[in-house]
Amino acid sequence: MTHRLIALTGVPGTGKTTLAKLVAKLGGDKIRVIHLNEFAQQHDLHGDPDPSHHDAIEIDLDELDSAIAKATEDEARPVLIEGHFAHDLACDGIVLLRTHPHTLIARLEARDWPQSKVRDNVEAEALDVIVSEVMDADSIPSFELNTGENNPDKLAILILQFVQGQLPQGATPIGTAPWGPADLPWLN
């Protein structure tokens, strides 16, 4: 069975955008990819930057969910929805991208993010924040992929297999990443 709407989620820096682009390239015209940040901007669904949260843009998830539903209602192809809050939208499957905190620190620092924003996102990864949110959607097929140790092309193939209705080999259950708070360098 092909999944209609698949969420590709994870904290910033786990490779969502990179992998979504690779999946789009591999899937060609057999898949549609929606990048949530771009979609929200194109449909004027974003609020003002919140300086208390590193200038994060507030987005009304109900409005976004409705707009996604409307934009995909006549879509015959499966749709991959990419964004760090994609799992909060109505979907038929979830792929959670995970990255070891040390790797994530390097990726986020390379973006020249403030240390407080790096720390917030790395702590969210180490403390399984998105894991717990995905586990709350227990009736939705889901799995996680470690993006720090695997080839992006291989990961894109696994994601495409899932979109096409297969549970790919190499997919691991949600919440099985072998890291946690002890891997946060500022706690040692």
**What average pLDDT does the structure give for the chain?**
90
Give pLDDT < 70 ranges for the chain: 1-3, 47, 49-57, 188
Q: Between β-strands 46-50 and 56-59, what pairing exists: parallel, antiparallel or unpaired?
A: antiparallel
Per-residue pLDDT of 32-72, as tens digits, reads: 999 998 998 898 887 676 666 656 667 888 999 999 999 99
**In the chain, what are the domains?**
5-176 (3.40.50.300)
Per-residue pLDDT of 64-74, as tens digits, reads: 999 999 999 99
Give one DSSP letter per residue of 144-176, joined into a string: EEESSSS-HHHHHHHHHHHHTT---TT-B-TT-
Please tell me the pTM assigned to this model. 0.93
